Structure 1
Amino acid sequence: MYPTLGDLTGTSLPIGTHEFFVALGVVVALVVLGFQLVRTGAGRDERMLAIIAGALIGGAVFMRLGTWLQDVDLRANASLAEQWLYGNRSILGGLVGAWLGVHLAKRLTGYRTRTGDLFVPAVALGMAVGRVGCHLTELPGTVSSLGVGPVLDVPTAERLGAVAGVALHPSLLYEVAFHTIAFGVIVWSLARHRLPQGETFVLYIASYAIFRFLVEFVRGNEVVWWGLTRPQLFLAVAIPLVLARIAWQAHRGVYQRQEWHVAQAIEEQVR
């Protein structure tokens, strides 16, 4: 585990590993988003600045507060101030907050065009980078039956509540791999206009939700109810909703119409 990367040059201020990679992930995401805005021409609309701000603010707030509700007895939870200063960060909370922030900004500015395709490659690559910091500072996972994975020394294992001296699942690296592969698939799909506008983002969220639900079994997070962790309980509600939305779009023939439009565009180019 590497809680810090060193000190700032000329000072004794430590550079937090997790904070560094989260910040790097945000920078990478903004660069990718900037490329998307230039490529599509969406950046010429000044309202896009408000939408990006909504995503960043909403993501930051919900990432901090997303793990606040730990107990049904509200008195047993930390105060909002304590949660903001010392609470765990939640990737799922950050995604929900960013989504809400975008929709609120679009409502306030009157922007009606779907923006999922602009954000989705940035989200995927930013998540891949940010998760590296999580891997270097957090509990890797449960004991690996394959005997391959990071091994913690006794002090680190005691601090993280893990087993020392045995290989653990590198569950956070599994997420890095997922988001990296997803980024490649997303870029390929967007370049070929394989899906209707905005649907790439929905399918990415659905696939990540399912992947995250499954990987939670080797994450080592606290099991709270029916053998499931808190993220799994949230996803058990969210996944059916997202899949129902995809099924409804498919029932309406949205994806078939997109295939027809792509085929028509190719035919026109050949002519």
Structure 2
Amino acid sequence: MYPTVGDLLGIDLPIPTHAVFVALGVAVAGLVFTFEARRRGRTGDKVIAVVTGALIGGGLVMRLGTWLQHVDLRQNATLAEQWVYGNKSILGGLFGAWLGVHLAKRIVGYRIRTGDLFAPAVAAGMAVGRIGCLLTEPPGTPTHTAYGIVLDPVTAARLQVPAGVALHPSFVYEIVFHALAFVVLWRWLRHDRLPAGETLTVYVGAYAVFRLLVEFVRGNEVVWHGLTRPQLVLLATLPVLLLRLTVVLRRRESAMTSPARIPQLEAR
């Protein structure tokens, strides 16, 4: 059983810690999205519909994203069991949000690209939401570094990890990644330095590479040739992402060196 906010504060307050930080992450993402949408003049009912699609799609697929554990489908939990007891998947949530956005845009007929609005919002929300994972989930694999997390016997037994052994703070690594990504996205990339809508492509591509690497110290179940399930999913999708990133960077380079762009650069 995960600790509650009350456990962390030492008071009788039975509010699930993980759920609290996920909710805070969603709230922060919503604030950043709203600010950026207003800055770019992207407001109205259709934008609200797109955000609703992202939330519904992300919530559904996050819940069901870890359902396929075995090739033999009979060995997997039922969808009802998965919904109630199954683990949540951040990668599944991101895919579900992307799918929800595209379905919502088709339904309401919104053709303007929204990746530039979502990128900094998702990064900020992930940085906050992952604090809940840090406080409630196994930190990572054993490490000899001085900054490893050492758990007491009770907590270690609850999380089923070694007690008194320094463990990689893998969620700290992820929080730092998303926080730095937000700074980069907010400080530089949001100011029209990339083709319209491609900021999210850059962020998701960078996160995919980072997540592939951090999985080696995450402590998730190894299922095939030293790789975890998230790594197998990422290895299947990364080629597509990297191809898309290559196209984006080439388009940016072409735009920066075009005759119409050069005088503007010289005038700055």
Q: Which 10-residue stretch deviates more, 21-30 or 144-153?
A: 144-153
SS of the equivalent of 2:15 reads strand
Which amino acid is 1:162 matched to?
Answer: V
Percent identity among equivalent residues?
59
Q: Counterpart of 2:166 in 1: which secondary structure?
A: coil
User: Residue in 2 aligned with 1:96?
Assistant: 95
Aligned residues: 263
| CA shift digits 1:32-86 (9 cap, x unpaired) | 000011100001x321111000000000001100001111111111111111111
Give the structure 1 partner of residue 255 of structure 2: 258
1:230 aligned partner: 229
| 2:192 is the alignment partner of 1:196 | no
State whether residues 195 and 255 of structure 1, in contact with CA within 8 Å, keep that contact through their aligned partners in structure 2: yes
Q: TM-score, normalized by length of structure 1?
A: 0.92
| Partner of residue 21, structure 2 | 21
Q: Distance in 2 between matches of 1:266 and 1:123?
A: 31
Q: Which residue of 1 aligns with 2:216?
A: 217
Alpha-carbon contact 1:194-1:262 (below 8 Å) kept: no
Structure 1 match to 2:71: 72
Alignment of 1:64-143 (within 5 A): 64-143=63-142
The answer (yes or no) to whether the contact 1:65–1:80 under 8 Å persists in 2 is: yes
Contact 1:195 1:258 in 2 (8 A): no
CA RMSD after TM alignment: 1.9
- Distance between the aligned counterparts of 1:119 and 1:258, measured in 2? 23
Structure 1 regions of 5+ residues with no counterpart?
none
SS of the equivalent of 1:67 reads coil
Q: Is the 8 A contact 1:57 1:98 kept in 2?
A: yes
Instruction: Call closer, same or farther: CA 1:73–1:265 in 2, change over 3 Å.
Output: same
- 1:183-205 Cα distance to aligned partner (Å, 9 max, x none): 00001224432111112110110
Distance verdict in 2 for CA 1:191–1:67, change over 3 Å: closer
Structure 1 residue identity aligned to 2:115: G
User: Distance in 1 between the 2:67 and 2:241 partners?
Assistant: 24
Instruction: Give the CA deviation at 1:266.
Output: 4.5
